[in-house]
Amino acid sequence: MPKGMVRKMVNAVLEENDWRLQAQEKYLLGKTLYKRTWVAPHESWDHDHCEFCWETFSDFPGALGEGWTTEDEYRWICDDCRRDFQQLSAWTLVEGHAGEK
């Protein structure tokens, strides 16, 4: 089976059956994501969640300390969900913590 056909089948299964997909394409489709370390934007903010699986980003023990984020650092995506939805979401990725604040 050709590689492209396998990808289409996998994406179709993800699209139809994955509980993590909740219309995030409305605000994340085609966005540029940056690999960054999570930092609280202000003192009263102590965590964020992955836009797909709700894994916690925080300084808390056991929480994720880095991931993929939009330029404004408002939307966060864990490595697993980034990998699972990269093809479907057509993201441009900027690695190496480029532009980290």
**pTM of the entire predicted model:** 0.79
Residue 23: strand, helix, or coil: coil
Question: What sign results for the dihedral spanned by CA atoms 42, 43, 45, 47?
Answer: positive
Residue 87: strand, helix, or coil: helix
Q: Where are the beta strands (DSSP E) in the chain?
A: 32-37, 47-49, 56-58, 66-69, 76-77, 92-94
Quick: pLDDT tens for 25-82.
Answer: 999 999 999 999 999 999 999 999 999 999 999 999 999 999 999 999 999 999 999 9
The partner residues of 66 in beta bridges, in order of sequence, read 37
Instruction: Select from 13, 3, 64, 6 the least CA-distant residue to 35.
Output: 64
Quick: pLDDT tens for 69-80.
Answer: 999 999 999 999
